[in-house]
């Protein structure tokens, strides 16, 4: 059974999802995002992720803050799970626990959180926050998550860590119907990120990658989670281009890269370079990304969801069989491409699911 979930990047920052001067049918405003969210849940998306930015980078000059954005989208949607990204160090976990529980209560259990350990040094230093070494940022994030879980599930929570202290804290109302708390996502490719995911996170987000690269991450993180007596789910970032022919889809990709904002891409590359190389083992986010990969700032082209609806659906099936539980999609023309994906590709994926069930039943008979 292909029980894969679909999410989309909320375009809550300006500039779109590619660092390119190519025209994009999208917008960062609330009015646009409210309508987009309603469309997304109508055509089969289950999750939406608001990214967190505080200062301009790679063209993202204007930003709607993520927690505020999902709280505003909650009353205009009915089914969509709303994921907000937050940075430990810029947020205190006690404050986020209270805000998150409130959004969850108001949305009838549709809040989730993406804990981002941080790669953009300037976002911390402009506010006078100390910039921690790579692995220390993940240690802080792990404590952050442990505090969230404690405050969301215990009536009186005590915690004494290296980064946070909670002295009998509590949150009321508690989050509702989330077994036992809102889902917690995280990203990162380093060993520190993978170990943290195995210990505390519910979901592990992966940058765009090949089938083989995805399998390697899933196998390692699953093994680490198993050592803790846990299971974890996996989401994959993908930039999705679906056109009537494969040639048309790849022509769109070539146009995006040909019109890349070279200065902005290089600036982004410099900003993230330390994220991949500063871990102890030199393995991390963007460590192996080239210029073309960085045009989509989470390596979304590398997942290869580019082609006809049938081709993209089949590639999604392959990722599912490799262990991916959720596809996190970004689009060039959100106005057109997101609803088209929901109306064409998602039904094909579900049809593959139905066909597989039918085949299994025939085998049993």
Q: Which residue has the higher pLDDT, 299 or 237?
A: 237
57: pLDDT strictly greater than 90: no
Q: Name the region of 206 (left: φ>0; alpha: ψ -120 to 50; beta: rest).
A: beta
Q: What share of the chain is helix, strand, coil (3-state, %, to 5)?
A: 45, 15, 35
Greater model confidence, 297 or 181: 181
Instruction: Please give the pLDDT value at position 84.
Output: 98
CATH architecture of the region 5-363: Alpha-Beta Barrel (3.20)
* Residue 357 pLDDT class (50, 70, 90 cuts): very low
Q: Is the pLDDT of residue 283 over 90?
A: no
Nearest to 342 by CA among 317, 298, 312: 312
How far apart (Å, rounded) are the C-alpha atoms in residues 19 and 264?
7
Summarize the confidence of residues 69-96 as an average pLDDT.
98
Supply the pLDDT for residue 1: 61
d(CA 302, CA 136) in angstroms, rounded, equals: 29
Q: Please tell me the predicted confidence (pLDDT) of residue 256.
A: 93
Residue 40: CB partners within 8 Å, gap ≥ 6? Answer: 8, 48, 80, 338, 342
C-alpha atoms less than 13 angstroms from C-alpha of 247 in its C-beta half-sphere: 0
Query: CB-based contacts of 308: which residues, under 8 Å, 6+ apart?
Result: 242, 243, 244, 245, 246, 249
pLDDT in tens, 218-262: 999 999 999 999 999 999 999 999 999 999 999 999 999 999 888
Residue 231 near residue 221, CB atoms below 8 Å: no
- 166 versus 294: the higher-pLDDT residue is 166
Is 80 exceeded by the pLDDT of residue 272? no
pLDDT band at 55; cut points 50, 70, 90: confident
Which pLDDT belongs to residue 284? 54
Tokens 């993940």 map to which residue?
Answer: 138
- pLDDT by residue (tens digit) across 108-145? 999 999 999 988 888 999 999 999 999 999 999 999 99
* Local structure of 235: helix, strand or coil: strand
Q: Is 270's pLDDT higher than 70?
A: no
- In this prediction, residue 280 carries a pLDDT of 55
Q: Examine the pLDDT at 364 and tell me if it is beyond 50.
A: no
């Amino acid at each position: 059974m292909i029980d894969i979930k679909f999410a989309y990047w909320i375009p809550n920052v300006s500039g779109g999802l590619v660092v390119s001067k190519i025209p994009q049918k999208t917008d960062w405003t609330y009015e646009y995002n409210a309508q987009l969210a309603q469309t997304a849940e109508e055509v089969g998306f289950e999750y939406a992720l608001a990214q967190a930015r505080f200062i301009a980078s790679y063209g993202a000059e204007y930003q709607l803050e993520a927690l505020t954005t999902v709280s505003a989208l909650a009353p205009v949607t009915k089914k969509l799970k709303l994921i907000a990204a937050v940075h430990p160090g810029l947020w205190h976990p006690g404050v986020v626990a209270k805000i998150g529980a409130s959004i969850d209560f108001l949305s009838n259990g549709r809040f989730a959180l993406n804990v981002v350990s941080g790669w953009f040094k300037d976002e911390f230093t402009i506010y006078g926050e100390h910039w921690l070494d790579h692995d220390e940022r993940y240690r802080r994030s792990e404590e952050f998550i442990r505090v969230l879980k404690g405050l969301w599930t215990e009536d009186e929570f005590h915690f004494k860590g290296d980064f946070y202290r909670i002295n009998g804290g509590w949150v009321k109302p508690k989050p509702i119907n989330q077994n036992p708390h809102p889902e917690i996502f995280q990203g990162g490719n380093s060993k520190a990120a993978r170990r943290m995911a195995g210990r505390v996170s519910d979901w592990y987000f992966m940058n765009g990658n090949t089938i083989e690269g995805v399998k390697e991450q899933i196998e390692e993180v699953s093994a680490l989670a198993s050592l803790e007596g846990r299971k974890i789910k996996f989401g994959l970032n993908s930039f999705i281009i679906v056109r009537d022919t494969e040639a048309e889809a790849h022509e769109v990709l070539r146009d995006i890269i040909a019109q890349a904002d070279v200065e902005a891409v290089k600036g982004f590359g410099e900003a993230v370079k330390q994220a991949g190389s500063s871990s102890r083992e030199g393995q991390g986010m963007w460590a192996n990304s080239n210029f073309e990969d960085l045009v989509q700032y989470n390596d979304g082209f590398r997942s290869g969801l580019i082609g006809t609806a049938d081709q993209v659906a089949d590639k999604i099936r392959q990722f599912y069989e490799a262990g991916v539980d959720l596809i996190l999609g970004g689009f060039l023309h959100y106005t057109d491409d997101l609803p088209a994906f929901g109306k064409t590709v998602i039904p094909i994926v579900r049809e593959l699911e139905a066909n597989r069930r039918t085949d299994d039943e025939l085998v049993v008979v």
